[in-house]
């Protein structure tokens, strides 16, 4: 983590553990590939929307939009558990309650988030119906 007044792209080397083969990032990380010493990493950085909108209608623009759609789908897939941990389970603000407590809380929250996201499939497996009728 870095301070709020510094861009993440400026500290991108610190955010990587060194064994990455691929990095997917949003448009705020444009230029990150030039800041990292390792050349083994395949970068997938989203383009800025204004740059795509400025392109003239063409087959190339459609191809770029399709690639950006794939990047956005991956981004949404990765970010969704964080949204679930924040909203339904209230992990919105950082708490300083001791290192052991914080360390235990994060995996627990993401385990709950996984259960929350799989709740429909679990209900179907357990009851055979999506919305079981209780009390009948």
pLDDT digits (tens, 9 = 90+) for 41-54: 898 888 998 999 99
Domain boundaries, the chain: 1-45
For residue 1, pLDDT beyond 60: no
Q: What is the per-residue pLDDT across 7-61, written as a single tens digit (0 to 9) for each?
A: 778 888 888 888 889 888 888 888 888 888 877 889 888 899 899 999 999 999 9
Q: What is the per-residue pLDDT across 78-112, written as a single tens digit (0 to 9) for each?
A: 888 878 777 776 766 666 566 676 677 778 888 88
Q: Strand ranges (DSSP E) for the chain?
A: 22-25, 42-45
Q: What is the per-residue pLDDT across 113-136, written as a single tens digit (0 to 9) for each?
A: 888 888 888 888 887 776 666 655
Give kind and range of the element (H or E) at residue 50.
helix 49-53
The rounded distance, in Å, linking the Cα atoms of 36 and 32 is 7
Banded model confidence at residue 4, pLDDT cuts 50, 70, 90? low
């Amino acid at each position: 983590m870095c301070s709020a007044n510094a861009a993440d792209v400026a500290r991108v080397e610190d955010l990587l553990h060194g064994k990455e083969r691929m990095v997917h990032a949003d448009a705020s990380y444009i230029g990150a590939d030039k800041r990292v010493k390792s050349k083994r990493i395949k970068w997938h950085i989203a383009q800025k929307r204004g740059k795509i909108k400025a392109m003239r209608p063409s087959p190339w623009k459609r191809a770029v939009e399709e690639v950006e759609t794939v990047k956005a789908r991956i981004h949404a897939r990765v970010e969704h558990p964080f949204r679930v941990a924040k909203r339904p389970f209230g992990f919105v603000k950082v708490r300083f309650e001791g290192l052991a407590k914080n360390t235990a809380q994060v995996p627990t929250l993401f385990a709950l988030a996984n259960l929350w996201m799989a709740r429909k499939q679990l209900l179907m497996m357990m009851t055979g119906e999506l919305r079981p009728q209780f009390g009948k």
